[in-house]
Structure 1
Amino acid sequence: MTFSISARCTRTGMFGIAVSSSSPAVAARCAHARAGVGVVATQNITDPMLGPRGLDLLAQGVPAAEVLEKLRATSDFFDYRQVVILGRDGPAAGHSGTKTLGTHAIAFGADVAAAGNLLASKDVPTAMVAAFEAMPDAGLGDRLVAAMQAAVAAGGEEGPVHSVGMLLVDTVGWPVADLRIDWSDGDVMAEFAALWALWVPQMDAYVTRALDPSTAPAYGVPGDE
């Protein structure tokens, strides 16, 4: 039902995660990120509690592989879960339980991991990582969007995807991007790319407005003259 990509940018310290599914509002359940800490993807038969628990452990300096083992040891029904964990340092860790649905796979790269279940092909996560790694000088959001598009081009899920979302965290205490298409019967990945293209030129301005409105650019809305 789901494919996702979790990544960090060593240039900026930013973390990001993008996820798509045939089910509605996938990012509300599956995508977890915390500034300066890392990202957790929890999918398949999803347990959203694994996200904050994993991030808390990463924040304590626990390596991703050890975080995964701690979650495995303390969670019920872990065989139903597919989980990817990526922290500040070291490689990502991933788990696909024995009850993961359909064709499933996890692929790892430098500062990135992609995972999916009910896939058209085990090659989908590998294609996502390759697309991400092919753009080393691009912004993290651009790289994640390209990876999601590559997933669809490689076959994506067995059925059509209807929802997609992306979280980006930087140095402030909230996501600098929290973009979601919770349901669409159209080309959801094209809609997602268009939403990102709309958001990215404004992203820094919204951070400035929160931190110091006196230095922020004009709001650009009717009546703001």
Structure 2
Amino acid sequence: MTFSIVGRCAETGMLGIAISSSSIAVGARCPWLRAAVGAVSTQNITLPALGPQILDLLESGSSPAAAMRQALDSNGYGQFRQVTVIDSQGATAHFTGSEALGLNHARAGEQCVAAGNLLSSPKVIDAMVDAFEQADGGLPDRLLAAMHAAMAAGGEAGPVHSAALSVVGDLIWPVVDLRVDWADNDPIGELDKLWRAYEPQLHDYVTRALDPTKAPSYGVPGDE
């Protein structure tokens, strides 16, 4: 039903998540990030509350493994959950419950952890970790490289229909928060197109937010 990767850029400290699912609007429920704290993907039969709960625990000083375990234990039904966590230092944790759907797998790598369920093969997750570790470019590019590698390795057992990419840096809001809530075909490809369109404008949107007097032109009628 879902495969994802959470990752960190060792050079910038940025944290990010890329995720795709056969379900609609995966980006509305599963990825959770907090600048300078961590990133969490809560998936399979997901409980969205796990994301902010784990981030709160990370912010209070818990390790990824302890935060994940505490949140799972406090909510029950852990056997149905699949969760991945990375903190601001790159430490990771992952959990897959005994009732996770279909063929499932999770693997931690260098500054990343990937997981999925209803997979065509465990190799999908291995391909994601390998691609993230080997890819060039910034964090969004490396996360998307992992998603493309997942599809090349077989992806889910069935078609995927939604995808999302989120990245946080030094600011309290995500500098990248892109979603394809439904596509009949290739939502990861559509997400990649969104990123390519957004990437040249990313820093302009940050400038507009922090200092409107230096904002570049919006390029719309009436903007001079």
TM-score w.r.t. the length of structure 2 is 0.97
Q: Which residue of 2 aligns with 1:79?
A: 79
Post-superposition shift, 1:60?
A: 1.1
* 48-57 vs 89-98, greater mean Cα deviation: 89-98
Aligned to 2:220: 221
The equivalent residue for 2:11 is 11
Residue 123 (structure 2) aligns with: 123
8 Å CA contact 1:38, 1:87 repeated in 2 = yes
Question: Aligned-residue CA RMSD in angstroms?
Answer: 1.0
Deviating beyond 4 angstroms after TM superposition, the runs of 4 or more aligned structure 1 residues are: none
- 1:222, distance to aligned residue in structure 2 (A): 3.0
Quick one: which amino acid aligns to residue 204 of structure 1?
A: H
Amino acid across the alignment from 1:124: V
How many residues end up aligned between the 2 structures? 224
Distance apart, 1:150 and its partner CA:
0.6
Match of 2:164 in 1: 165
- The CA distance in 2 between the partners of 1:2 and 1:47, in whole Å, is 14
What is the Cα deviation at residue 88 of structure 1? 1.4
| TM-score in terms of structure 1 length | 0.97
Partner of 2:140: 141
Distance apart, 1:186 and its partner CA:
2.1
Amino acid at match of 2:169: D
Residues in 1 aligned to 2:4 and 2:69: alpha-carbon distance in whole angstroms: 21
- Amino acid in the other structure paired with 1:80: F
Identity %: 53
Contact residue 91 and residue 110 of structure 1 kept, 8 A: no
Most deviating of 69-78 and 1-10:
69-78
SS in structure 1 opposite 2:29?
Answer: helix
* Contact persistence 2:50–2:72 (CA under 8 A): no
Distance 2:72 2:123 in 1: 26
Contact kept, 8 Å, 1:2 with 1:19, in 2: the verdict is: yes
Alignment check: 8 A CA contact 1:30 1:48 kept: yes
Q: Which residue of 1 aligns with 2:88?
A: 88
C-alpha distance after superposition, 1:136-167 (max 9, x if no partner):
x5100000111111110000000010000011
How big is each residue's C-alpha offset from its partner over 1:58-101, in whole Å with a ceiling of 9 and x where there is no partner?
11121111112212321210110000011012521000000000
Quickly say closer, same or farther: Cα 1:90–1:198, change in 2 above 3 A: closer
Q: Distance in 1 between matches of 2:86 and 2:92?
A: 4
Shift in CA distance, 94/43, structure 1 to aligned 2, threshold 3 Å:
same
38-47 or 188-197, which moves further after superposition? 188-197
